[in-house]
Every structure is written in C-alpha cells, then in structure tokens.
Structure 1
C-alpha cells in the first residue's frame, strides 16, 4: 500500500428546509445558525485526524451539506485559513462549495471567492417550476439563472449544476428540456442522476408517481447523447465535464483516495501506514447540537479498520463508477493487496460481458456492466464466513 492523495470533506448540516427525497444528514436550520460555534467545533474536530496526514498536501476541499451557502464567506474563510496553517495546500488545490440557488444574496459569491473558494456546485435539480415545488425546493428557475450570473460576475466560471431525471410523472421530452436549460448556462460540469426513493425519506414512505424504469433509461441515454454532442465527456456514472474540468475532489473518492471527514455525520477514509498498512473508516456524531457540545475527541462516533476481505469490494464500489475503470497497479497500491486477490472474480465478470480489458492491465466496466453496475460491484463482496467451494 502507498499513500494516495488526500482531500478534506467539511459537512455543513443545516438547510432552510428538508427536501422529501433527501437522505443526507441535513436538518432544518434554526432562526440563527450558530456559525462561529460550528466553525470552532470543526477546527477542533480536525485535530482528531491530523496524524493521518502523514506528510501529504491537501489536493481538494469540499464543503457539502446541508446547505453550506447558509454560512457567511467570512466564516468559510476563517476555516480555510486555519486548515492551511495545519495542512499544506497543493498549489492547484480545488476548493468547492455547494450552494442552493435560493440562499444566494447579491455579492455573496465574490465573498466566497475572496475566502478561497474556486469551484461551486449549484443544486439546480430541475428548471421546471412544478417539479421544483414537488421536490420541496426553495428556489425557482430564475433563481438558478441569477445564481449563475452572480458566479460569472465573481469570476467563478468553474461551476457544476446538479440535475435530476426520473422526476414525478416526468417524460423524456421534459428531461431533455431540463438539460437544454442547464446547457444554456454553460456550466463547466454537470452532475445528472436519477431520482431514487431512499429509505427514511418522505418520498420513500409516500412515493410520488415516478416514470417507468424503461422511460428513465431512455432519458439517460438521450441526455448522454446530447451532453456528448455539446462537448461534455462522461467520466463517471453521473458526471460530465468539459475538458480539464473534472471534479478533482470526487475523482479522489472514486479512485479510492483518502479523505478526512469533519462535521456532523461526516465520513472519512484514511490509509494508515503507521498502523500496519490498514484502511480506517471514520464517522462523526450526526446531530449538530450533540456534535458541537461534545469534547473534541468524542466527536468521532466510529473508527473502524476495514477487514482485508472487505477492501476489494470497497475499492470496486468506487472505481467501477469511473467510465475509464482502473489498472491493476492502482488496485495494488491503493489496497495493499495483490491483484490475484480479485483476478478470478474479474475473469468471471469478463465472461459475463460485464468487464473488459481495454488495454494491458487496465480494466473497465462494459456498457452492459455500467447498466447493471450494482450487480457487477456485488460480485466482489466477500464470501460469507464458512462458505467453501
């Protein structure tokens, strides 16, 4: 095992309102968000994982949520300045802020730019006003356009638009209209993913009328064709980018890199050479109030060494989302395991038409493998204890 690149994920847990489809750790914001107190807690929390830096620089930072744009630029800047004093930044570091178009005031993006943000991810979801209402969003289509205007005025041209398809009663033509509206704003990156009903959400317990799966598949295929024709390269299951604008932070996840996760409910993944070449998963306390009130060393609610038998599945769970796949050396360097550990499963997936060797020692999912990605990934689950040939 060799140390992979290192990122930082910062979870900001509050939203103006919880969306009925959202299963992220987000909470309705109080009248006054305790911004300064929460930033203080984040900086204390960071101390728990500083030993895992092991001489590396940060290649990316991502503020996710929740709605990070509820926090003032001054607070974001204070956090970034304090992090930089403790972990060196790569010269080309990507620092992304998720933002809700309905929470952006005039001049706000200029403040975020001055604080150090150089990439923004806007949660557009759809440009259809009725769909926005059904999804519980607090913004309208005009708010998305206004937010993009604000981004450009601030000189932040590296931005992503989140879009969903398979929305309640949506048809293929409507999905294409949404995509055209997004493309008219000329984002550097588009994330387009299908609405799914996640356990624990309002939609899961009271499902809206969703399109037929075959219609959703047609939406995906036709949208992919449009994106390719407009110069957006698909590099991951739901990610499309103009040349040179792939998300460095998300690529680090999918390439099985390391990331420190701080904030209420944040998850982290760290390679620890100092503990015997193991991979450690961390989880923070979920409830914001509890997170802030606990002592710094008690904010980590779980610290788990990943069993060696589970590592191949975890690697494939990420890497197989990439259209380009992975090479055998990358598997060995990121997991600390010989490729022979998975070679039999890889050969079986190849026989089933789910895997292909597109160049020497380099594997990727076939188009059929991408369509049935969950089935392909599950082939790498460890055998139950006691199972034998």
Structure 2
C-alpha cells in the first residue's frame, strides 16, 4: 500500500459543542438535550479545557484559523463562561491572524447585555437560528421564538457591535407556500445581514418529524422555491458559494470553508467530531466524543471521553475530499488535492476526465470545478469517486 505523503501544513479550525437547548425541535437530529432548570456551565467549560489539553500533542504549534461554538443553543451560556473558555483556548493554542470566532444563538434565548458580553469576550461573528419569520410556520416546527423575536435579535446584535451576522433559514416548512418562503428571504435581506444559510427542511430518521412527517410542499414546489430564492438572493447581492450558503462580498464563513476545502478541525465537547492530519505518521485521524454530556464531562482529560477514533483508509480519501470540495463554487487545484489528501493525483485523474466527459466537471489546466450540471446532480458526480482504490490494493 502506498504511504500518504503530506507536503504542507493543513489549516486548522476548532469546533466547540455546547449541547443544551431550552427544548428539542421535532426536526433536529443534532446532539442536543433539553436544558431543564440548571446547567453545569462551569463544570462543562472545565471539561472542554481538559479535552483541549488532552488533544494538544496532536495539534501542537498549529495556529487556529477559526473557532465555531455550536450546539444546542450556545447563547444559553453566560458571557463570563464564554470569555473563560476563549481565554483558556488562547492560553493553550496559537491563533492565526484575526481569527473568525462564531457563536450560535437562538432568538428565544438572547438579551442585549449577553450579546455585548460575547462581543467583549472575543466572539466576532453570530449565527442566529431564525428558521422563519412567520409565526405560524415557527409554531409548526416547534420553535420557541416568533418572527418579532428574530428581528429583535439581529437589532440587539448590531447594538452590541457585531458586524458579521449569519441567519439560518429553512424552506419547505409544513404547508409553506412559495410566497411565504420568499417572504422569509425578503425579511432576512431587509435586515442587512452579511450571510444566510438557507436550506430545505428534511425529515431525519429518529426524530419526531421522521416518525410522523407533517404535510410538506411537493417536490415540484420545493424546486420552484429553490430556484426563485436563489435568484432573489443573487439580485440582492448575496452570492451562493456553497449548496446552502449565501454571502455578501468577503463575508463567506471561513470556518465552514475550511471544512469544505478539506482542512483539519479539532472538535471538543459532547458529540463533537475531529479530523486531524498526522503528517509525520502519514495518516488522517477521525474521532468523535461521547454524546452524553455527563459521560463526556466524567471522561474529560482522558481517552474515556472518546466514543470512536480511527485512521481514514487511504482509498476513502479521494471520495471524502470530493464530498467536501465539490460543495463550493470554487475550483480546486491538483496541488491542493495532493496536499490535503496525501494522495497522488494519478489516483483520480482518469475519474476526473470521465466527469468532464459527462459534463459534471470542468478542468482548465491544473484547476477543477463542478459544473452547474454537476452541482445539480452532485450525488451522481460523487458516485464516480466511490470505488477508487489505493495503489497496490
């Protein structure tokens, strides 16, 4: 079997999972837990810092380019604990220049003073889970806020000094019309946010909606919603740079771009996932933490916090790279493929040529990008890379 050869330092991001919400939404399959009366804020932050210390030998000396604090509802945490967390990270890891630090917030769990505290702690980007501005649609998907709360949250964020705000919005909600979906987008645009994550509601297994799906728009209506929404956002200056991500100029989410460019990320917190390139060992390691917050905290600082760790088989790396990289409307180069996977380009060259012949990919010199047709039929494109084997296998 050919050994992987890594010739460049892979950019590193840090993901932090805070797993509690006020209540669990019926469509959500994330690792989140209803918060109850009290949360162990200080104990959990202690566990996060122990987790980070335990992982330091695997990322030693590598600067963190971005931090994403996700959940759950991270805005349930007091600003003082977020400040203690970020200060503890700075003491243990070097930061790259002007790192992007994102925190997710729920419009039903925010206040002006807390936003100001997050900004002072070093958070410079907010991602607010609006999902819709329509009160009826919000009630149908189990959200705890209303449309006015959503608009107020953006105003409070601006008042606290945030100049980089993302809104999460969904379409294809129960009994939602195309006009209602466009109304949500128009309200989001009117608020002047820099970034939108706009994606279709899906029925995930092992969720209440997965077991008992509500009445949803049909496939034709969903397709029309998507096309009309894409056109609306483009006309308003929000460019689609990924399947469900739209941004004003220079406002793309750097953290998510690192995922999609097949960068490395260290995940700490209950249920968090990591991908770390161990260049000296010629390997890429994936791992995940215990999902139970209590088991995670009990195991912090030791291998007991892990639920799984494995080396990614070399023959899986071309597909893993393409699954991420072809999501964004940006060419990649032959060199970037080799640097991020440690694999030789000749392992995928014939497959890329086949994708070009089928109109799914476009290669210009050393650059490759998915065509519009390829992005529309991304699963067909990715299927081409599913059976690539490592040299010698």
* TM-score (ref. length: structure 1): 0.96
Q: Please report how far the alpha carbon of residue 290 of structure 1 lies from its aligned counterpart in structure 2 after TM superposition.
A: 1.0
Structure 1 pair 9–252 and aligned structure 2 pair: CA distance change class (3 A): same
More off after superposition, 86-95 vs 372-381 = 372-381
Secondary structure at the aligned position of 1:169 is classed as coil
- Aligned counterparts of 2:387 and 2:121: Cα–Cα separation in 1: 45
Q: Please report how far the alpha carbon of residue 48 of structure 1 lies from its aligned counterpart in structure 2 after TM superposition.
A: 2.6
Q: Which runs of 4+ in 1 moved over 6 A?
A: none
Q: 1:284-318 deviations in whole A, cap 9, x for unaligned?
A: 00011111122521112211100000011111111
Q: Show the 5 A alignment for 1:42-121.
A: 42-121=48-127
- Aligned counterparts of 1:382 and 1:66: Cα–Cα separation in 2: 36
Match of 2:153 among 137, 147, 152: 147
Task: Tell me which residue corresponds to 2:222.
Answer: 216
Task: Tell me which residue corresponds to 1:37.
Answer: 43
More off after superposition, 48-57 vs 20-29 = 48-57
Count of residue pairs brought into register by the alignment: 384
Task: Tell me which residue corresponds to 1:285.
Answer: 290
- Aligned counterparts of 1:106 and 1:252: Cα–Cα separation in 2: 31
Secondary structure at the aligned position of 1:260 is classed as strand
Is the 8 Å Cα contact of residues 53 and 92 (structure 2) preserved in structure 1? no
- Aligned counterparts of 1:151 and 1:144: Cα–Cα separation in 2: 11
CA RMSD of aligned residues (A): 1.4
Give yes or no for the alignment of 1:368 onto 2:373: yes
Is the 8 Å Cα contact of residues 47 and 300 (structure 2) preserved in structure 1? no
Q: Please report how far the alpha carbon of residue 54 of structure 1 lies from its aligned counterpart in structure 2 after TM superposition.
A: 3.8
Task: Tell me which residue corresponds to 1:355.
Answer: 361
Is the 8 Å Cα contact of residues 115 and 157 (structure 2) preserved in structure 1? yes
Match of 1:27 among 30, 33, 38: 33
Secondary structure at the aligned position of 1:296 is classed as coil
Task: Tell me which residue corresponds to 1:130.
Answer: 136
- Aligned counterparts of 2:241 and 2:275: Cα–Cα separation in 1: 22
Give yes or no for the alignment of 1:296 onto 2:301: yes
5+ long unaligned stretches in structure 2: 1-5
Q: Please report how far the alpha carbon of residue 226 of structure 1 lies from its aligned counterpart in structure 2 after TM superposition.
A: 1.0
Match of 1:264 among 265, 270, 290: 270
Q: Please report how far the alpha carbon of residue 384 of structure 1 lies from its aligned counterpart in structure 2 after TM superposition.
A: 8.9
- Aligned counterparts of 2:269 and 2:318: Cα–Cα separation in 1: 28
Task: Tell me which residue corresponds to 2:3.
Answer: none
Structure 1 pair 295–254 and aligned structure 2 pair: CA distance change class (3 A): closer
- Aligned counterparts of 1:346 and 1:309: Cα–Cα separation in 2: 16
5+ long unaligned stretches in structure 1: none
- Aligned counterparts of 2:176 and 2:361: Cα–Cα separation in 1: 32
Q: Please report how far the alpha carbon of residue 325 of structure 1 lies from its aligned counterpart in structure 2 after TM superposition.
A: 3.4
Task: Tell me which residue corresponds to 1:157.
Answer: 163
Task: Tell me which residue corresponds to 1:203.
Answer: 209
- Aligned counterparts of 1:48 and 1:342: Cα–Cα separation in 2: 36
Task: Tell me which residue corresponds to 2:191.
Answer: 185
Q: Please report how far the alpha carbon of residue 379 of structure 1 lies from its aligned counterpart in structure 2 after TM superposition.
A: 2.1
Secondary structure at the aligned position of 1:381 is classed as coil
- Aligned counterparts of 2:332 and 2:389: Cα–Cα separation in 1: 26
Is the 8 Å Cα contact of residues 48 and 300 (structure 2) preserved in structure 1? no
Secondary structure at the aligned position of 2:17 is classed as strand
Is the 8 Å Cα contact of residues 347 and 388 (structure 2) preserved in structure 1? no
Task: Tell me which residue corresponds to 2:321.
Answer: 315
